[in-house]
Structure 1
């Protein structure tokens, strides 16, 4: 993390000085104390300005180790599907990217386990996964393979191919009325934690490096933990969620 230190004399009453080459969104104030009346400027705590992690230009390649994967982040959408320009505050953090480099894999027991994605694959990853860095003028994430939830070669989330023990679920629609027939407002509709399984991953690895099949299958109606997984909106307008099989609590049947 690049860092620069300023003394009290470099801070004006109109705000912080600008720094050429640093984006405003990348600057974080680690420590700042306003100068109180009657105190000497020597008592002013140092101001530390930190910029986003940047790989120095002299390094031309990044080689992930073990089960790490380097992903180039897909830029956030600046317009809605209807062409409406979005303000910067409304831009959602992207969870999609392209794999640009992979590690050599890892060893479990006596088995050598290769990375389950290849260079060029389009993937979806956990929202807060990995270490973000700027490389070759683009934003990248360096993360563990386990933080990748699935491979998505199209722009429709229902065609996601889940990784490992991940499960793709189409969320059931919230009830429109109460048991007594009263119409519910949007604010009062309870978020459902029931849905239909669309696709499942190949399963987790055991201590010998073999895949263990999941206990749920496509077509199952399941109940899952309420605050688990990563949520997505499908092109069909439906809600989808990708979560670990351990967050599936029960299979439901009528």
Structure 2
């Protein structure tokens, strides 16, 4: 019989005897919880179409991880447990970290770039769904491609992000409060803006000879970008920011 353990943010389910998990060895699989699980509601149908993403656990006998190719190893930053006002957050309200510290970089044969864009010890921000999570030495790590690193962050404020390669960092324009006819809009009816001001740009991608190809936008440009592109962030100033690839910028407005 399947067993379950509920917490405020997740549920832990034994994979044994669940047909939906056929092929998994009997182990504990952690799933995101989006609602309240009622007694007796844990059925095969409940897991139809559910994607399980569990971290790989590295046994204690292994003392180091050496990334290969164009990959880097990042120690994931822990999620914030309190608001700036000191209020404790339940795990469900804690945003998943998108940053951490680079602890290892692939070197030597198999390296695609002539020089790495990041260094060991750098604090970086990476794409939301990038890489493979690994539990190592009691901490959560991520092995990801260097190109999935959005930028380097040397402070605690996302507005100071230094984008890498072909990334563009944008301060999103505020949503319109009224219609053209002067009607006030509710939060739910405000359309998500896809216009913003470029704050910083990366140095461009490297060609085969190691030369940088500069980007076609510059800091200060007001741009129109693809609506569902990139990664969005909330700054300490309350403003919304977006990091995306230069190819997702569709036009410069003036």
Q: Same fold (TM over 0.5)?
A: yes
Deviation of 1:64 (Å): 1.1
Q: How does 1:57-68 map to 2 (within 5 A)?
A: 57-68=60-71
Q: Is the 8 A contact 1:167 1:197 kept in 2?
A: yes
Q: Is the 8 A contact 1:104 1:114 kept in 2?
A: no
* Cα RMSD, aligned residues only: 2.3
Matched, 1:29 2:32: no
Q: Is the 8 A contact 2:224 2:252 kept in 1?
A: yes
Aligned counterpart, 2:26: 49
Aligned counterpart, 2:177: 176
Unaligned runs of 5+ in 1: 1-10, 19-23, 35-44
In the aligned structure 1, how far is the partner of 2:135 from the partner of 2:11? 14
TM score, norm. by length of structure 2:
0.81
Q: Secondary structure at the match of 1:113?
A: coil
Unaligned runs of 5+ in 2: 29-54
In the aligned structure 1, how far is the partner of 2:162 from the partner of 2:185? 35
Q: Does the C-alpha gap of structure 1 residues 28 and 155 become closer, same or farther in structure 2, counting only changes over 3 Å? A: farther
> Number of matched residues?
222
Q: Is the 8 A contact 2:4 2:14 kept in 1?
A: no
Aligned counterpart, 1:193: 194
Q: Does the C-alpha gap of structure 1 residues 195 and 46 become closer, same or farther in structure 2, counting only changes over 3 Å? A: closer
Q: Deviations over 1:103-158 (max 9, x none)?
A: 116556xxx61211111100000011111011111000011100100000111111
Q: Does the C-alpha gap of structure 1 residues 178 and 101 become closer, same or farther in structure 2, counting only changes over 3 Å? A: same
Q: Secondary structure at the match of 1:49?
A: coil
TM score, norm. by length of structure 1:
0.81
Q: Does the C-alpha gap of structure 1 residues 46 and 168 become closer, same or farther in structure 2, counting only changes over 3 Å? A: closer
